[in-house]
Structure 1
Amino acid sequence: MTLDTPVSPTDSRREADVNAAPDRAEDTFDWRRHWYPIAFLQDLPRRRPHAFSLYDERMVLFVGDDGGLGCLRDQCGHRAARLSDGCIRDGRLECLYHGWQYDNDGACQHIPQLPAGRSIPPKAAVTSYPVVAAQGIAWVWPGNPDAADETLLPLVDELDADGVTRVDFQMDLPYDQSYFTENVIDIAHIHIAHDGMRGGGHRSLAGPLDFEVLQNDARGIIARFRRAPAGGRTQDNAPQGPLEDARMEFHAPNLVRYRSVYRDPGRIAGLALYSIPLGRNRCRMLYRKFSNFTSKAERRKPRWLEHWTQCTILEQDMGVVVGQHATAEREDKPLRDLWLPIRSSDPLVLAYRSWLDRYGASLPFYRGLTSAKSPTPPPDPAIGAESPVDRYRLHTRICCTCSRMHVRAVQLSRALPYTGAGLLVAALLVPGQWVSATLAGLAGLAVAGTAGAHWMRRRFE
């Protein structure tokens, strides 16, 4: 079979099972026995709670006065109001409805309406979840608290090396986690879908790829990849590039890593893409790019400017992935019957969807290559295809840097027209040609600044 030969259903199952571990009782996957990234710590609000969900189970994260994290079920024990609608008061999470206050462990510490001398009933407590901060991320454990093991955190060791700098970015996406994972392990789409984008690809470099699956078990999938050699054969005298090895690693259930191994052992670079399954047709991506040889210009670049680039790349994929998701769920047939995969492009996607077939039984819902569980309703295929995408809802509101810049742009766009008008009036009234000309020039700058502020504001919306 040549590299560009379509993969038959039998071949796709065989390829997905390369190096698969034999069936064992302990070789299983339970989604509740894993840590899930909620948000980057720098993007968490300090004065209000942060609502999120795991597979549509509503939770709320908050930061106490001492900087400690608390994660509770997003439901007040009194009358089931959302705790995420409340506020942080005296280091506790206070319900907006009647002011009941909860500590980090979910214990109710204050009820304003309770008569003097009466103790707070134990049943007023709400469910709490283990939550930790590690490598700049807040992590939650949704299962048995006694089983929460911090050694299972999917951390990236290279981030702790000397001289490593990173770019952190997070965004909510209108499709479920499996479609996000499929999208980011699909190496072949980059040079087509993101042609010409900084941090994207180049159409001229699109071509067949070689893949070697090194691990495929309950822990995830690890594979080596490279551009296919010309003529299908490796040339012994081919010039060597800086890379010795390039790998894609899927660490179940929420980390996709691209690991670059350089011939110079002192060079470190990589990409870590975390995700959290918010629910049906919803997930959150936490993007982390890191390197120890980033240029000074890149290190000095404002965080919000880098976020514009990442938003654009995700938005380029958004309409395509939402449309693909809608078609797959509407057809409601095995993906092996819907797709025509080829060996020189799709082995990792096939391996991942087959991983869901094999290990997805505990998930609330999934769609594998040959099976599905509680399929999700098809999303609206127009979502993500609109122009412009609702960038404020998907990114700006959950990013402290971009939300702060958005507020400043809004303030400028409102204030500068009045400033310009005032300067223009002053230019007409104040005597002196030089002073009038200066004021008129400043009025022109205010008008130009208003246009710039409106342009910047739209980039965050």
Structure 2
Amino acid sequence: MASISFHHPFLLNPTPKKLITTTTRSITSSSIHIEQREVRNRSTPSRTLFTKCHAVTEHDEKVLVGHSSEEERQVADYDWTEEWYPLYLTKDVPDDAPLGLTVFDQQVVLYKDGNGDLHCYQDRCPHRLAKLSEGQLVDGRLECLYHGWQFDREGKCVKIPQLPADATIPKSACVRTYAVTDSQGVVWVWMSQKTPPNLDKVPWFENFARPGFQDTSTVHELPYDHSILLENLMDPAHIPISHDRTDWTAKREDAQPLLFKVTERTDRGFAGWWGKEKEGSTSNFLCFEAPCVLQNNREFVDEKGEKHYFTGLFLCRPTGQGKSMLIVRFGATKRSLLFTLFPKWYFHQNACKIFEQDMGFLSSQNEVLLKEKVPTKELYLNLRSSDTWVATGSGWTKLGMECLTILGTAPFRCLKS
């Protein structure tokens, strides 16, 4: 099997945060029993009681992921603002109007000034709190349509029509700004107000920089949590069943055991190889970089013996509790004939169909997790032959579900599943 030469920031030069330690205890009982456990709801002083049925056997330990031990959740400090979040596709940002977006329930407005440079503010006029995204661009400045206040690229108010001629604009007439950067066709935002933006943490995708690489991109607003979305994208086993005949690759009869090999696991994410058991190889390279980036890479050799590269890239932005946005980018250095025959809208339509097929499952899953308020390992039966990525990534994806503070001035207090 040819090795893929894909490099990823957290694999080459990880920027470790505070490591989360765990303690384990073995489960030796081989009988089915009902276990009652008190779980303190950290948002309120009250207690809730739930029951869970365990069927623990030697066979289970061979086929289930992480069912032979339990990890006690540890509290860790993690400031989610000190990350870059994917806002939008650069090519889709309007040239002549502001764009309202959301990150963790924080409303922001993105726009291009007269020079085409990108800027991002809090989506709130300091005058009477009207949404600036409902405004307009005037000579490269963002104007609030409520009273006409205008703001420059630094967020300072430079015009108030109702201000007397001999008065000066108050220094407090300004909006909160966020750093943005355009990288490989995606606009990223740095949400922290206390820490300068770290450009070394902007994700970089080597295949997208290769000569001849072309991609098709779509954007989707989804009614379920960012962590549920990531978990779904880490799950190749559901595709033949849930998306049977949705396109030419998904067929129900192809459902089979999968092979997994985790090669890297750090506090910045994980990476590894996977493939179908019938093929006998792990030719797909999956890489997750917390908190937003998941990609699947593959190399292939054409009939002329030339090596080509394929990437399925998923950029997930948490827009709020139970809501997320996803940028999907499929690309390769050699495009198949199908990509030239079908218009771009077809691929967007097909992607929407796929997410609609999963929506019922994921929405109900989201409801259960929000209600239970316990780690997924207490509820899931993850198989080694299908759910290894889901189990491996749960420590990071569930941080989003269990954060107790949403973009406050203090770091998040998060629980690792």
1:202: Cα distance to partner? 1.2
Match of residue 168 from structure 1: 217
Match of residue 394 from structure 2: 353
Match of residue 259 from structure 1: 297
1:10: Cα distance to partner? 4.3
CA distance change for structure 1 residues 199 and 253 in 2, over 3 Å: closer, same or farther?
Answer: farther
Match of residue 69 from structure 1: 118
Match of residue 332 from structure 2: 291
Match of residue 92 from structure 1: 141
CA distance change for structure 1 residues 107 and 299 in 2, over 3 Å: closer, same or farther?
Answer: farther
Instruction: Note if contact 2:77-2:414 (Cα within 8 Å) is conserved in structure 1.
Output: no
CA offsets 1:120-171 (integer angstroms, 9 cap, x no match): 1110011100011111111111014752122321121211211111001000
SS of alignment partner, residue 124 of structure 1: coil
CA distance change for structure 1 residues 158 and 334 in 2, over 3 Å: closer, same or farther?
Answer: closer
AA matched with 1:77: P
Query: Quick check: which one's helix share is greater?
Result: 1
1:302: Cα distance to partner? 2.0
**For structure 1, which runs of at least 5 residues remain unmatched after alignment?**
15-22, 230-238, 366-371, 375-461
AA matched with 1:111: I
Instruction: Note if contact 1:130-1:145 (Cα within 8 Å) is conserved in structure 2.
Output: no
Matches within 5 A, 1:290-329: 290-299=331-340, 301-329=342-370
CA distance change for structure 1 residues 208 and 74 in 2, over 3 Å: closer, same or farther?
Answer: same
Higher mean displacement: 192-201 or 98-107? 192-201
Match of residue 29 from structure 2: none
Query: Quick check: which one's strand share is greater?
Result: 2
Per the normalisation by structure 2, the TM-score is 0.76
1:28: Cα distance to partner? 7.5
Match of residue 127 from structure 1: 176
Match of residue 4 from structure 2: none
Matches within 5 A, 1:341-420: 341-356=382-397, 364=405
In the alignment, is residue 11 of structure 1 matched against residue 76 of structure 2? no
Instruction: Note if contact 1:28-1:359 (Cα within 8 Å) is conserved in structure 2.
Output: no
1:11: Cα distance to partner? 3.4
CA distance change for structure 1 residues 9 and 294 in 2, over 3 Å: closer, same or farther?
Answer: closer
1:72: Cα distance to partner? 0.2
Tell me how far apart the structure 2 counterparts of residues 204 and 305 of structure 1 sit (CA, whole Å): 25
Tell me how far apart the structure 2 counterparts of residues 196 and 343 of structure 1 sit (CA, whole Å): 26
CA distance change for structure 1 residues 117 and 12 in 2, over 3 Å: closer, same or farther?
Answer: farther
Higher mean displacement: 245-254 or 148-157? 148-157
Please say which structure displays the higher CA radius of gyration.
1
CA distance change for structure 1 residues 225 and 297 in 2, over 3 Å: closer, same or farther?
Answer: closer
Tell me how far apart the structure 1 counterparts of residues 192 and 69 of structure 2 sit (CA, whole Å): 34
Instruction: Note if contact 1:259-1:271 (Cα within 8 Å) is conserved in structure 2.
Output: yes
Corresponding pairs, count:
348
**For structure 2, which runs of at least 5 residues remain unmatched after alignment?**
1-57, 407-412
SS of alignment partner, residue 283 of structure 2: strand
Match of residue 395 from structure 1: none
SS of alignment partner, residue 247 of structure 1: strand
AA matched with 2:104: Y
SS of alignment partner, residue 101 of structure 2: strand
Q: What fraction of aligned residue pairs are identical, expressed as a percent?
A: 31
Q: Of 269, 272, 275, which aligns to 1:226?
A: 275
Instruction: Note if contact 2:99-2:109 (Cα within 8 Å) is conserved in structure 1.
Output: yes
Q: Of 230, 244, 247, which aligns to 2:285?
A: 247
Tell me how far apart the structure 1 counterparts of residues 135 and 250 of structure 2 sit (CA, whole Å): 44
CA offsets 1:367-418 (integer angstroms, 9 cap, x no match): xxxxx969xxxxxxxxxxxxxxxxxxxxxxxxxxxxxxxxxxxxxxxxxxxx
Per the normalisation by structure 1, the TM-score is 0.69
CA distance change for structure 1 residues 350 and 312 in 2, over 3 Å: closer, same or farther?
Answer: same
Q: Of 98, 101, 116, which aligns to 1:49?
A: 98
1:227: Cα distance to partner? 2.0
Tell me how far apart the structure 2 counterparts of residues 138 and 115 of structure 1 sit (CA, whole Å): 39
CA distance change for structure 1 residues 349 and 364 in 2, over 3 Å: closer, same or farther?
Answer: farther
CA distance change for structure 1 residues 96 and 118 in 2, over 3 Å: closer, same or farther?
Answer: same
Instruction: Note if contact 2:87-2:186 (Cα within 8 Å) is conserved in structure 1.
Output: yes
AA matched with 1:298: F
AA matched with 1:252: A
Match of residue 41 from structure 2: none
AA matched with 2:392: A
